[in-house]
């Protein structure tokens, strides 16, 4: 049962699309780890502000490494970035991520303080969970949008007409 699944996964991974998807996922893992590290420092250790602003700071720190890792490692591009085809769409999606980060922080604050009456450590755990949920949803939505935008319809194979083949 699992052998066939592993075999299909391995065959898919060995394709250019599979490698790109794997690398895109790994960039997300790296960005999340960086975000969680910064979030732990600014929210739990230094106690700078509350959940929403600290969550924004943490998520902004992951944007630039995410751009370069995706561009250079996942998609294998080098050289100067094209402003309108690469930079602007990436920052637009990043802006959406920041809005999600803000609302995740607001929700985490409400749940941690008003609903559960938690101390800083419990609120930090709630904030991590809110990030995972928010960015998990955003990751799926971005995938669905990109898949819809860049979906290629297969072209039907054109077979020469028998009459044309015999007359030539």
For the whole model, what pTM was predicted?
0.74
- pLDDT value of residue 40: 94
Give per-residue pLDDT as tens, 50-105. Answer: 889 999 999 999 988 988 888 888 878 888 888 887 888 888 888 888 898 889 88
- pLDDT value of residue 146: 60
- pLDDT value of residue 147: 59
Give how far Cα 5 sits from Cα of 12, 26, 61, 67, Å: 10, 21, 37, 32
Query: Would you say 130 and 101 are in contact if contact means Cβ atoms under 8 Å apart?
Result: no
Cα distance between residue 99 and residue 104, in whole Å: 9
């Amino acid at each position: 049962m699992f052998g066939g699944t592993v075999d299909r996964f391995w065959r898919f991974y060995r394709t250019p699309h599979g490698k790109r998807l794997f690398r895109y996922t790994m960039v997300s893992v790296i960005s999340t780890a960086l975000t969680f590290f910064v979030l732990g420092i600014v929210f739990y250790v230094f106690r700078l502000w509350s959940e929403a602003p600290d969550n924004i700071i943490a998520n902004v720190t992951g944007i630039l490494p995410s751009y370069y890792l995706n561009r250079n490692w996942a998609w294998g591009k080098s050289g100067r970035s094209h402003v309108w085809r690469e930079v602007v769409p990436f920052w637009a999606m990043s802006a959406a991520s920041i809005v999600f980060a803000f609302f995740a922080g607001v929700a985490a604050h409400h749940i941690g303080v008003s609903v559960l009456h938690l101390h800083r450590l419990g609120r930090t755990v709630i904030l991590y969970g809110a990030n995972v949920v928010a960015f998990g949803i955003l990751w799926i939505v971005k995938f669905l949008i990109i898949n819809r935008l860049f979906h290629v319809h297969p072209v039907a194979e054109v077979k020469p007409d028998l009459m044309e083949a015999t007359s030539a």
